[in-house]
């Protein structure tokens, strides 16, 4: 415990991933990871600022938070940074009208977005909606644009549910990038801007070489925007934790 205390000295905030760290998903629900409910409660009782940062794109923010509350977590919508609301802000700011290749579970997040005559594509973990017809429609929209814009809610390769490994949005994004000769804009992890946005909402800044920073607990991937990373909750190595600095 003393060693961990030394490693956390100067840390003022904690960013927690959700899927694979707090719970493993299941069809329509989820299973809390052992000790995670208690760990979140303990962090909230500490001096640290706590925020949750997710790439979840099959559930609306409200549905996700309600599920977490049902699983026993003390969490509110205002404590979560999620890609769908962030994407809506980008679309409005840039006057973009998306073709939405997304899961029905988050379609309500885009109710206030104009989707007529699309001038971009927004892609997320669409699950069963990743049909050839829908992928080809996204391809056609992009190819008809002089300056095609592809926005991806995260870019994960796969994730774990209680039923096994699930192919994530990244594979489908790569297909569109290859076919169209473009590079997607990522809203979500591992985008440094996404983490910076979460830090701003916490009232903190990331200092690359400073002992004062933020710890992240998440499933993996280099977090270049953060000063300290503790890889905890990766289903391939759980429950061991490996501290490292970026």
Residue 91: predicted pLDDT: 97
Residue 161: predicted pLDDT: 80
Give all domains of the chain, ordered by start, each with its CATH number.
13-26+49-82+191-245 (3.40.50.1000), 84-187 (3.40.50.1000)
Say how far apart CA 49 and CA 245 lie, in whole Å.
20
209 has a pLDDT exceeding 60? no
Give the CA distances from residue 147 to residues 97, 121, 152, in Å, rounded to whole numbers and listed in that order: 13, 12, 16
Residue 163: predicted pLDDT: 84
**Diameter of the chain measured on Cα atoms:** 60
pTM for the full predicted model: 0.77
Average pLDDT over residues 186-196: 87
Residue 245: predicted pLDDT: 31
212 has a pLDDT exceeding 50? no
Residue 19: predicted pLDDT: 86
pLDDT digits over 147-179, tens only?
999 999 999 998 888 788 999 999 999 999 999
32 has a pLDDT exceeding 80? yes
The answer to whether the CB of 189 falls within 8 A of the CB of 154 is yes
Residue 92: predicted pLDDT: 97
Strands 29-32 and 23-26: antiparallel
Q: pLDDT-based confidence at 4, cuts 50/70/90?
A: low
Average pLDDT over residues 24-50: 87
210 has a pLDDT exceeding 60? no
Give the CA distances from residue 88 to residues 100, 107, 109, in Å, rounded to whole numbers and listed in that order: 12, 11, 8
């Amino acid at each position: 415990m003393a060693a961990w205390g030394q490693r956390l000295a100067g840390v003022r905030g904690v960013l927690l991933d959700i899927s694979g760290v707090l719970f493993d998903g299941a069809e329509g629900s989820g299973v809390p990871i052992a000790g995670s409910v208690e760990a979140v409660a303990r962090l909230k009782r500490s001096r640290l600022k706590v925020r949750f940062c997710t790439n979840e794109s099959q559930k609306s923010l409200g549905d996700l938070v309600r599920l977490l509350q049902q699983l026993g977590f003390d969490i509110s919508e205002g404590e979560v940074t999620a890609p769908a609301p962030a994407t809506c802000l980008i679309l409005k700011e840039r006057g973009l009208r998306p073709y939405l290749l997304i899961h029905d579970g988050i379609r309500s997040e885009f109710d206030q977005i104009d989707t007529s005559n699309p001038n971009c594509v927004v892609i997320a973990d669409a699950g069963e909606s990743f049909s050839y017809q829908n992928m080809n429609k996204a391809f056609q929209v992009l190819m008809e644009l002089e300056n095609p814009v592809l926005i991806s809610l995260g870019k994960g390769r796969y994730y774990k549910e209680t039923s096994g490994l699930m192919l994530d949005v990244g594979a489908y994004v790569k297909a569109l990038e290859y076919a169209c000769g473009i590079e997607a804009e990522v809203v979500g992890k591992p985008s440094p801007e996404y983490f910076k946005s979460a830090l701003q909402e916490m009232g903190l800044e990331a200092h690359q070489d400073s002992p004062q920073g933020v710890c992240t607990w998440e499933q993996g991937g280099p977090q270049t925007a953060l000063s300290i990373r503790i890889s905890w909750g990766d289903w391939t190595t759980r429950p061991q934790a490996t501290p490292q600095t970026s």
